[in-house]
Structure 1
Amino acid sequence: MLEIIQAGGWIMLPIVLCSVLALAISVERLWALKADKIAPRNQLAEVWQRVKDNSIDADYLKQLKGSSPLGALLASGLSNSRYGRDIMKESIEESASHIIHDMERNMNALGTIAAIAPLLGLLGTVVGMIDVFTQIVDQGTGNAGALAGGISQALITTAAGLAVAIPALVMHRYLHRRIDTMVVSLEQESVKLVDALHSERQVAVKEKKRK
């Protein structure tokens, strides 16, 4: 592997750096976007039980907000529930925008790597071909070893750039799709809380009127 990198010339250094960054970002995002970390199972049910038991206080809301992205959305909604359904939904949407921003952290960098890696490979190809033609001008076509070295450099950098760009692009698309799916799930869970909370309040108001 080291011999291949050396044969590719100096342009292999940024390509290798791109590969390391792409791998680090992919692993970090896969870990950060685990389903149980974003929307823990039964968290909505636990929150709703708290609502029914009338045991929601400032300390619990603070704990809920720091527990997970879903918890942050539910805490934001509960904090503004007394202002009505519309305000509650607006507060959840505002919190969701911050959460989405956090979920998309480093995604632009991964997309940039996927875009520039093949360009770096192409640059290496151009540099290699320039070296080939320089050798032809200086020594003619008789020195096959020198010509092969320039062509080898051109092919190695092209292959290396594509080898980095293809998986980086795949991971970028996959992670974006994963984020979109999780955002929809978070919105659905939050809407369930809003609907349940205000439906129960409407029932309570109607019962009071009857009495």
Structure 2
Amino acid sequence: MKRVFTILAITGLLLFGAAPKAIAQEAAKTEQVANDATQQKTFHQELKQRFIEGGPFFMGIVLVTLILGLAIAIERILYLNMATTNTKKLVNKVDEALASGGVEAAKELCRNTKGPVASIFYQGLDRMDEGIENVEKAVVGYGGVQMGLLEKNISWLSLFIALAPMLGFMGTVIGMIKAFDSIAAAGDISPTVVASGIKVALLTTVFGLIVAIILQIFYNYIISKVDSIVNNMEDASISLIDLLIRQKK
């Protein structure tokens, strides 16, 4: 009987002792999940609060700089993606068109093909009757025109990259001036007096640098894309001149 009571007592302790422990662990997990959700929820609120604390004037200008810079970057990326063509495939098609239908067939092919390379080919083929030298001049000249179209508005993007941190630093200077004005008004250099001005100074600098970093990434990608297209244009132009020289022979 003693053994039975002992076993029952041990079983009861295990059951009723483990239950509160399991409940406590489950409650701790629930509280952790709630805390994570609260932190994730308040991130945007804190970002909004920091933006307001930085001052609506300079922070608004920095935000406008970011929006305009992203608009230009997205427009350039879309344009460059549409301007990208398979130059080797186009050169082969032009070669086949010259062999089968002559210059007019090649011009029709280039007219119906999108991209700067096809436009350069058309200008060169259009002056085929004037000699190879004039064809080369036309290809080089129109290549410069297409390069200008590829680089359109990129200077504005570089301006916004330089402008964003400058606006942030200007906000920093203004924040420090406010801090010294607070010291002069209070006649004391306590942390509470200068904290608000220094906070404005740091927040404007941080947001300005963040905007510059984001736009710089897009700028470098666009420049590399333009360089790649220009290299393809030059290689394709050389191939076109070779095709026309063989056609003359």
Percent identity (aligned): 27
Q: Is the partner of 1:182 in helix, strand or coil?
A: helix
CA distance in 1, matches of 2:84, 2:189: 64
Name the structure 1 match of 2:53: 7
Q: Is the partner of 2:101 in helix, strand or coil?
A: coil
CA distance in 1, matches of 2:108, 2:193: 72
Name the structure 2 match of 1:208: none
Stretch of structure 1 that moved more, 19-28 or 172-181: 172-181
Residues 1:80 and 2:133 aligned together: no
CA distance in 1, matches of 2:156, 2:64: 13
The match for 2:195 among 140, 145, 148 is: 148
Could you say which structure has the higher helix fraction? 2
8 Å Cα contact 2:125-2:135 kept in structure 1: yes
Q: Is the partner of 1:33 in helix, strand or coil?
A: helix
CA distance in 2, matches of 1:56, 1:146: 80
1:181: Cα distance to partner? 2.1
- Cα RMSD of the aligned pairs, angstroms, is 2.1
Q: Is the partner of 1:12 in helix, strand or coil?
A: helix
Residues 1:95 and 2:142 aligned together: yes
TM-score, normalised via structure 2 length: 0.74
Q: Considering Cα pairs closer than 8 Å and 6+ residues apart, tell me whether 1 or 2 has the greater RCO.
A: 1
Show CA shifts across 1:60-96 (max 9, x none). Answer: 26724x6211110110110011212111011011111
Residues 1:168 and 2:218 aligned together: no
The structure having more radius of gyration, on CA atoms, is 2
Show CA shifts across 1:165-188 (max 9, x none). Answer: 123223323322321221111111
Q: Is the partner of 2:240 in helix, strand or coil?
A: helix
Instruction: Please list every run of 5 or more consecutive structure 2 residues that lacks an aligned counterpart in the other structure.
Output: 1-46
- State the number of aligned residues: 200
Name the structure 2 match of 1:197: 244
